[in-house]
Amino acid sequence: MDTSFDPTGLACLVALSDTGSFAAAAQRLALTPSAVSQRMRALEAQWGQPLVVRTRPLDFTPSGSVLLRLARQWQSLAAEATRQLGAASAHGERVPIGVNADSLATWVLPALDALMREGVQVGFGIDLRVDDQDFTHEALRAGTVLGCVSSLAEPLHGCGMQRLGVMPYLAVASPALLRELPAAGLRATDLARLPVLVFDRKDGMARAWAQQAFGLPDLRLRERHVPSSEAYVEAACRGWGIGVAPQLQVAAALADGRLQPVLPSVTVPVTLYWHQWLLDGAADRGLLGRIGAALQQHAAQVLEA
Q: In this structure, what CATH number is given to the domain that contains residue 229?
A: 3.40.190.10
Give the domain-ending residue among 19, 51, 67: 67
> Based on the structure, what is the number of domains in the chain?
2
What pLDDT is recorded for position 85?
73
207 domain residue, yes or no: yes
Residue type present at position 302:
V
Residues in the chain: 305
Predicted TM-score (pTM) of the model is: 0.85
First and final C-alpha spacing in the chain: 52
Residues sharing a CB contact under 8 Å with residue 207, sequence separation 6 or more, in sequence order = 217, 219, 221
pLDDT block averages, 10 residues each, the chain of length 305: 80 91 92 92 90 87 90 83 66 86 96 93 87 88 91 89 97 94 79 90 90 82 93 97 96 97 94 88 68 96 95
CATH number for 60: 1.10.10.10
Rounded (5°) CA angle 188-189-192: 105
Give residue 257's domain range: 167-270
> In 10 A of CB 111, how many CB atoms?
23
177 domain residue, yes or no: yes
d(C-alpha 17, C-alpha 32), whole Å: 17
Report helix, strand or coil for 117. helix
Beta partners for residue 244, in sequence order = 171
Report helix, strand or coil for 5. coil
Give the domain-ending residue among 67, 89, 108: 67
99 domain residue, yes or no: no
305 domain residue, yes or no: no
138 domain residue, yes or no: no
Cβ proximity of 54 and 41 under 8 Å: no
Give the domain-ending residue among 12, 47, 67: 67
Closest CA to 112 of 92, 96, 90: 96
What pLDDT is recorded for position 282?
43
242 domain residue, yes or no: yes
199 domain residue, yes or no: yes
d(C-alpha 14, C-alpha 66), whole Å: 12
d(C-alpha 84, C-alpha 87), whole Å: 7
75 domain residue, yes or no: no
